[in-house]
Amino acid sequence: MLGRVQGKVALVTGGASGIGAAIVELLSQEGATVVATDINEMNGPEIVTRLKKAGREVSFLVQDVTSEERWIEVVAEIGKRHGRLDVMVSNAGIGIGVPSIVHMSLQDWRRQTAINMDGVFLSVKHSLPLMRKHGGGSIIMMSSIAGLRGSANLAGYSATKGGVRLFAKSIAMECAQVGDGIRVNSVHPGIIDTPIWGKIPTGAPGTGQNAPIGPEERARVVAPLGRAGQAIDIAQGVLYLASDASRYTTGTELVIDGGINAGGVVRAQAAAC
């Protein structure tokens, strides 16, 4: 442990699983006091108990990121307990895949947008005042490579992640304009091996396409590095953006995707066939 975020107070949404859990673990390992929030009332407390046993400063609050009322309570609670907020990681998200956009219900479109976009908007709206009170900080929004390029079957998800990308840039400009010392960036994971892949429903009734998508299998074909990333790979990028090492970085997009967004490669094995 190098203490790269020593003394900072961080809030991580969606901290009970996958990428969020890895961020909670790494930031706390590097000296931050971390408040993890999630709707998952089972995993969250388990992770926190394990990290506390290892001497980390972590706590868990139940939070649905789509509830503005709960955002007000969570930020007030952090102000009361810790007196400040230095790092806001807006990570909670879901993915809903469909064989065709014509199979997407308006209800699912709205649910995905509520979590992936409204949740990020509310995180900024309610964390900025506390961050500003103490002279600055870092806001990190979890987008995706699906927010940089189109992806068949995930149009609604791409729309939310593309929205998050430009929302981050716009808030970065607002903060720079007022000179509040807050940096704002987005992170764009590629195919990362987390539980989200088992939860992405791809089928519509009668289409016969209900199998969950396997990240490793997909990454072998799609990712130039030939494998799926791990949650810790994304957490390392978040650590950089949360730390003072990134003090001159704002409004940027950190792509961590095994090369997918850069282009494609022809594998030696495949080329030899």
- For ligand NAD, the binding residues in 130-149 under the rule CB under 6 A are 142, 144
The yes or no reply on residue 196 touching ligand NAD (CB under 6 A) is yes
In the list 57, 64, 77, 118, the residue contacting ligand NAD (rule: CB under 6 A) is 64
The yes or no reply on residue 202 touching ligand NAD (CB under 6 A) is no
Q: What backbone torsions phi and psi does residue 3 show, to the nearest 5 degrees?
A: 70, 40
Which CB, 48 or 142, lies closer to ligand NAD? 142
- Choose, from 157, 189, 229, 239, the residue flagged as catalytic: 157
The yes or no reply on residue 28 touching ligand NAD (CB under 6 A) is no
Q: Is the dihedral of CA 110, 107, 202, 215 positive or negative?
A: positive
CB proximity list for 152: less than 8 A, separation 6 or greater: none
In the list 5, 9, 12, 19, the residue contacting ligand NAD (rule: CB under 6 A) is 19
The yes or no reply on residue 20 touching ligand NAD (CB under 6 A) is yes
Which CB, 109 or 176, lies closer to ligand NAD? 109
Residue 14 to residue 35: CA distance in whole angstroms: 11
Which CB, 43 or 250, lies closer to ligand NAD? 43
Which CB, 107 or 269, lies closer to ligand NAD? 107
Report CA Rg, the chain. 19
> Is 157 a known active-site residue?
yes
Which CB, 176 or 261, lies closer to ligand NAD? 261
- Looking up tokens 């108990």 gives 49
- Asked whether 250 and 269 are in contact (CB, 8 A), the reply is no
What DSSP assignment string belongs to 173-234? Answer: HHHHHHT-SEEEEEEEE-SB-STHHHH-----TTS---PPPPHHHHHHHH-TTSS-B-HHHH
Nearest approach in angstroms of CB 3 to ligand NAD is 25
- C-alpha distances (whole Å) from 116 to each of 14, 17, 141, 213 are 11, 16, 10, 20
In the list 192, 223, 241, 256, the residue contacting ligand NAD (rule: CB under 6 A) is 192
- For ligand NAD, the binding residues in 73-92 under the rule CB under 6 A are 91-92
Nearest approach in angstroms of CB 177 to ligand NAD is 27
Where does this chain touch ligand NAD (CB under 6 A) — which range of 4-12, 53-61, 175-183, 184-192?
184-192
Both structure tokens of 258: 């095994």
Task: Return the biggest CA–CA distance within the chain.
Answer: 64
The sheet with strand 87-90 has its strands ordered as: 58-62, 33-38, 9-13, 87-90, 137-142, 182-189, 253-256
State the residues that interact with ligand NAD by CB under 6 A: 13-14, 16-20, 38-40, 63-66, 91-95, 115, 142, 144, 189, 191-192, 194-196, 199
Residues annotated catalytic, as ranges: 157
